[in-house]
Structure 1
């Protein structure tokens, strides 16, 4: 289960409430009985409104008291409908068609024209003036931001209330209410508030956030949970071509690419805050694409957006999300500048998109105030501190929140804190919380230590047969200054016991000076990664390869001891200096690591003893972490680049070490959102070993003889098919996110994703290394031409599986060369 999927499970057990005064809902039809999609529905004499969905349905809620709603759409007579009560649901409304509406407006229905369309003429003026609006108009800026995050269980009914899972927690249903966007009954579960000062410099292209207050209901000690909640949301800008969230790029209706994606209709014009504005309704031209529907108001002099509503359509190709709804409001700073003042985001999570299915609302409200401009600060001001515990921010008084909230909590929202604190004291809730924690972390929590990872308890490989593993770690809290981990394993085929133990301690939080060390004796599949890892408790592929292609007996026994010193001189840049000692030998009689120890090639040794010194530099710009202990949790996984440089020095005769050599390795990984074309991941690896070394110390091009996808491996290669001491490799994978399939009738209904990939490696092996090899394996390097393979695949099968077919591009004459390979992978992806 992914971390964000874990959150959805956890959030089924918390709460929130917004008291509404007027609620309306129903369907809008025309004279012939057909539904009218994208019609405007507003409370009379207010700016509170919505649009009907693709089926003509609507729901509207407001805390004020209203007695009339107004329904309008181009091509129909505007209709005012009196309300009989404060709650009016299941309304059936019929609009009458008319020949024309506003004199200056050309009437459009269905697909609108891109020519002679006044809505598009207005949109072009927005494009021309967008860089003059907002904070882009100033060299520097700062403002205060108030954020409120809420999670709710939705579609509350008697079945859920009477469920045994809530035994002992029945009191929480007193807090149920109706969502103002969808009309569903919901139960508030979680609320988190934060106040942040934001500073930016448009010339330096730098921005800095300083958290000054944070408060949440029921989970104040779980920083991981809070940070995961915050990371569900991404920052977005409606003026850019794409609005990015949930790892997807939605076409913005304000963007220059919007006219090829949306239909636009000039619907209305009116004064808003003493500014004359035009209202434009927009909706998608095609189904199953990453698009919105809604409307926006544009000022007629600055051509800036005054407010906008964005709502995903029901057929949008995104998993686990039934609907996303966004509102943004902007305020006039002067005659030429608009600034955002409010941003509301709501996602309706669910296992499917049926209207009656239960799910979770994730809501974020952002309010902005105290804008200041052109206050220049030095570049050093924007450098993020390595050590930033912010303990004061998480312990603010009620007086602080009364003063700094930009939107006062209503009575029901304030009651959430009391209810959640009570809920977390119930045994029933804590049982559910513990189960979800195990699913996310893989560890069973006890007092001061955790058992796990539970997913590694059972395994299988050709040498050990069935393998059992039991382990654990010390854990007193997320910010522990030290940690010890250990495990023991036993193979029922080789009847041998294996183990691993490691420890690390944080000596200086400000520079993140960490000492670490450990020892592991286990069975391992060497050559599964070009970039070496000295993680003493690294997961062994040998213990998890349940299904293999052909024989997989090239396993090694390793005795690895490691010691290192690590520090972080500036944020997200780490320097690690370490030493390791390895004893390597074959784990099965069918495999050999033999090498000659004399120039005459008459004496053979089958065990490698090697001492190695290493200096590793790692830079991860944009990485976000949680906590400040010896281990930090990465919040935004797969959202930042990684650069890795390793210089290793093999030292002979130290602890009976066998070889002198130098090794240089470089690794670069870059995830990319390619606009509306989907998401790519590109990685580049290069390395060279200076000096003659045996097979166990060479760089093996990582093959994959399993049926499961393994990161940066070559699925059509067998283990040890290519061996090098100098190499360069590239891996490119791209997911089109259904952009092509969405244009094919019938196929678009399956919401599948198109996948393509390309991988190549070029390498060589020196004659000196070949001459000392006595393993009997053919030492082949891709030196005549780069080896390459390509793949095509289908993702999002049953929403959790991908299937790829891999094709070898060359080197078909290698022994037992496979021209074709198949892999599958499982995971939760939006």
Structure 2
């Protein structure tokens, strides 16, 4: 009976959810698919174009009885629609017998001076629009955002599979996508309503969040953050549009005529304004481009409508479809306002037509624009609290008025469906498995405890041999005001237990005043970072690497205790004040010791350092976005710069501390999106230590003896090969995202990505510090005479998950056991 009802509802929704639906394939006379053919409902501005495989899907809330199919070089064809829903259509276009001028102009490399579409494009550039809200001193408007996730490509085989046995009721209400024509089942929905206020004269903007409603799953903020990070704001008039951490060439870009083919297809009235329809599609495959069309006004040359669909050949992983729609209200010749922004992404392991996946959809609607309403500057400083419990408890009357776009019946049923699903043990099991793989922790709800993380369970190094670790943390919810965390570990070679535990407490939510502290007794590879570790739980990958290059025996016993206060007086500006006490000694003294001259020692030499430090750190991350208000927040973007200024004061005598010194350090890291040529990541670090300190407290130029590609280290340096008290380093890494390989026919289909890197380090080590650490059994030298440098070439996206780097050493090849060449790699799931 349930199966019958599911089929009944499925057929019912096919008929009533939209008035007209068509789907199929466009072929030529030889049976080959025609990509980028134009499909349009006759006597309308509603249309689409075929994908790379000639397939199309189009639907409308209106009733139409004819579609028009056209492509340059072929005779246009009008096809009557016998019913409201028409799937599996096969349209054959016949090559035109007339030698039309368009065939000469638009095929292959287009003539830029004779193509009317290019002439219109140039006029769009000449009157490039700035968003209308920037044309007034002050502005305000309502913003409604809806984020939804759907399971797609649902068929009877999936419904009847063992995977969903007992969960068949989920499929009682299915709908079809108006973009792809696939059946889908919503399983997550978040609604967000806010008012935006801005003042261009003082460059201030604030958002008052008035309502937030979601499906209710734990971790929904993380899901929302994931979508917000992927679907960042964009302006179609920009030359490049950033999605999924990649830059796509905009069809309105001034470089577009070298990237796209443009065709003037049609013209008609839209909202009483005469508009031209221009179809565009990419000149080459495998580049980050779109296909689609836009409607542009004939006098203002402002875009009225645009749709953009990423081509299947684009070098992007795990995403089968990306579809974007924007609608604009043209107020005057100089003002246009965005009314609706819709984006759909089809996440799937394969780009094959029948592969199943998950839709991620974001719909944003803007309305009730008002201009030149003045507010005092203090108004913009008083930000609303987006996590006020009242925001999440709005009633149905509020949402009825707040929704600038009403929910359809399918979306309205999501909340009820998810409430039911949470009571089904099998679904909860699936949810737990995904949660464990994503977070690395096993949730024990009845104890409010997470066990993990599971990815740190097993390790190996020369001092401990095989190492096992287990840990846990408190977890009442994603906005916990406090959190306790700890671990225990055991090494089977040294037969010693290690531990680490920490606590964090949010004392004031507004200023984000946090007190934290803890203790760690463990073995650590310290030569992998220029800054001393104050993390009582973290552990570098070099400390537990299964495979290393050369002897990885320069490990350190560390007993670290910390107490720290942190606050954020201004958004994205953090101040940290704290103290730490550490005891350091070699874990393998026969191979690597930390001995230093100590006149108070009976032997004149000590092998252990006890050190108390006071530390002040300023961290500025302009543009960083986070969600949550608990003691641990979630970052939702990584395209911001990071500036860090750190001052350390070592105090001798206190708690038997050994050395008195000062250290100042500065670092600046910045990602750069270089148009359509990929992403450059740059970082600079500077530091100087004042006073005499032994080897264990000096600044080591970070080496890398693992087989993993790590940013901000030197892969051809051994640990402790260069030791400094004054240093400067630069790291540059550029990922072309396949821009170059896409031009090579034999490599094009592999979707590989090319990465190049350049690194340099300069440093000094004073004679006094060399003398102090003279008893050490490793050579002490700094790259003072000439800057040490390396370069690398990498190939990424191998099998979609693997990156391999070929690293070359530029100089200091005479150093003992110098490695002139090395290969490193890393695994990862990147778009």
Q: Mark yes or no: TM-score above 0.5.
A: yes
Q: Give the structure 1 partner of residue 797 of structure 2.
A: 796
Displacement of 1:218: 3.9
Displacement of 1:170: 0.9
Q: Give the structure 1 partner of residue 556 of structure 2.
A: 556
Q: Give the structure 1 partner of residue 811 of structure 2.
A: 810
Contact 2:221 2:628 (C-alpha < 8 Å) held by counterparts:
yes
**Change in 2 beyond 3 A, CA 1:380/1:287:** farther
Contiguous gaps of at least 5 residues in structure 1: 1-14
Displacement of 1:375: 3.2
Q: Give the structure 2 partner of residue 144 of structure 1.
A: 142
Contact 2:247 2:678 (C-alpha < 8 Å) held by counterparts:
yes
**Change in 2 beyond 3 A, CA 1:438/1:384:** farther
731-740 vs 339-348, greater mean Cα deviation: 339-348
Partners of 1:219 and 1:21 lie apart in 2 by 34
> How do 1:486-505 residues align onto structure 2 when only pairs under 5 Å count?
486-505=486-505
Displacement of 1:63: 3.0
Partners of 2:325 and 2:99 lie apart in 1 by 27
Matched, 1:512 2:512: yes
> How do 1:418-497 residues align onto structure 2 when only pairs under 5 Å count?
418-446=416-444, 447-497=447-497
> How do 1:370-769 residues align onto structure 2 when only pairs under 5 Å count?
370-378=368-376, 381-383=379-381, 385=383, 388-446=386-444, 447-541=447-541, 543-589=543-589, 590-598=591-599, 603-636=604-637, 638-769=638-769
What SS does the aligned partner of 2:331 have? strand
Deviation digits for residues 629-655 of structure 1, max 9, x if unmatched?
12212222x221111111000001001
Displacement of 1:76: 4.2
Q: Please, which of 278, 284, 299 is the counterpart of residue 301 of structure 1?
A: 299
> How do 1:145-544 residues align onto structure 2 when only pairs under 5 Å count?
145-219=143-217, 222-378=220-376, 381-383=379-381, 385=383, 388-446=386-444, 447-541=447-541, 543-544=543-544
**Change in 2 beyond 3 A, CA 1:707/1:725:** same
Matched, 1:826 2:827: yes
Deviation digits for residues 670-705 of structure 1, max 9, x if unmatched?
112111000111111110000010000000111101
Matched, 1:781 2:782: yes
Q: Give the structure 1 partner of residue 3 of structure 2.
A: none
Q: Give the structure 1 partner of residue 10 of structure 2.
A: none
Contact 1:74 1:101 (C-alpha < 8 Å) held by counterparts:
no
Q: Which has the higher contact order (CA 8 A, sep 6+)?
A: 1
Matched, 1:118 2:116: yes
Contact 2:320 2:346 (C-alpha < 8 Å) held by counterparts:
yes
Displacement of 1:435: 1.1
**Change in 2 beyond 3 A, CA 1:35/1:542:** closer
59-68 vs 306-315, greater mean Cα deviation: 59-68
Partners of 2:500 and 2:601 lie apart in 1 by 39
238-247 vs 415-424, greater mean Cα deviation: 415-424
Displacement of 1:587: 0.8
Displacement of 1:206: 4.0
400-409 vs 104-113, greater mean Cα deviation: 104-113
Deviation digits for residues 325-354 of structure 1, max 9, x if unmatched?
111111122344221111111111111111
571-580 vs 414-423, greater mean Cα deviation: 414-423
Deviation digits for residues 783-822 of structure 1, max 9, x if unmatched?
0011000000100000001000110011111111110111
761-770 vs 79-88, greater mean Cα deviation: 79-88
**Change in 2 beyond 3 A, CA 1:658/1:386:** farther
**Change in 2 beyond 3 A, CA 1:675/1:440:** same
Displacement of 1:199: 2.5
What SS does the aligned partner of 2:415 have? helix
Q: Give the structure 2 partner of residue 9 of structure 1.
A: none
What SS does the aligned partner of 1:438 have? helix
What SS does the aligned partner of 1:172 have? helix
Deviation digits for residues 169-210 of structure 1, max 9, x if unmatched?
110111222221112222222221111222334444443322
Partners of 2:32 and 2:603 lie apart in 1 by 90
Q: Give the structure 2 partner of residue 59 of structure 1.
A: 57
What SS does the aligned partner of 1:148 have? strand
439-448 vs 191-200, greater mean Cα deviation: 191-200
Displacement of 1:219: 2.1
Partners of 2:113 and 2:98 lie apart in 1 by 18
Contact 1:262 1:285 (C-alpha < 8 Å) held by counterparts:
yes
Displacement of 1:224: 2.3
Partners of 1:824 and 1:307 lie apart in 2 by 45
What SS does the aligned partner of 1:302 have? coil
Displacement of 1:289: 0.5
Deviation digits for residues 238-258 of structure 1, max 9, x if unmatched?
100001100111000111111
Partners of 1:491 and 1:579 lie apart in 2 by 29
Displacement of 1:225: 2.6
TM-score (norm 1): 0.94
Displacement of 1:464: 0.5
Partners of 1:752 and 1:361 lie apart in 2 by 25
Partners of 2:809 and 2:245 lie apart in 1 by 30
Partners of 2:299 and 2:596 lie apart in 1 by 80
Partners of 1:18 and 1:735 lie apart in 2 by 48
Partners of 1:807 and 1:88 lie apart in 2 by 60
Displacement of 1:229: 3.0
Contact 2:209 2:386 (C-alpha < 8 Å) held by counterparts:
no
**Change in 2 beyond 3 A, CA 1:294/1:101:** farther
Partners of 1:601 and 1:779 lie apart in 2 by 25
Displacement of 1:216: 1.7
Q: Give the structure 2 partner of residue 12 of structure 1.
A: none
Partners of 1:751 and 1:103 lie apart in 2 by 36
Contact 1:312 1:325 (C-alpha < 8 Å) held by counterparts:
yes
What SS does the aligned partner of 1:301 have? coil
What SS does the aligned partner of 1:655 have? helix
725-734 vs 155-164, greater mean Cα deviation: 155-164
Contact 2:209 2:384 (C-alpha < 8 Å) held by counterparts:
no
Partners of 2:422 and 2:772 lie apart in 1 by 65
Displacement of 1:46: 3.0
Displacement of 1:215: 1.3
Contact 1:21 1:63 (C-alpha < 8 Å) held by counterparts:
yes
Contact 2:147 2:361 (C-alpha < 8 Å) held by counterparts:
yes
Partners of 2:726 and 2:828 lie apart in 1 by 34
Contact 1:106 1:117 (C-alpha < 8 Å) held by counterparts:
no
Partners of 2:37 and 2:464 lie apart in 1 by 67
Partners of 1:757 and 1:601 lie apart in 2 by 50
Deviation digits for residues 383-431 of structure 1, max 9, x if unmatched?
5859652322221111011001111112222122211221122111111
Contact 2:639 2:671 (C-alpha < 8 Å) held by counterparts:
yes
Deviation digits for residues 98-151 of structure 1, max 9, x if unmatched?
577999998533432212111111111111111456333333322111111121
Deviation digits for residues 689-732 of structure 1, max 9, x if unmatched?
00010000000111101111223110000001000001010111
Deviation digits for residues 474-506 of structure 1, max 9, x if unmatched?
111122221111111111100011111111211
Partners of 1:583 and 1:32 lie apart in 2 by 78
Displacement of 1:532: 2.6
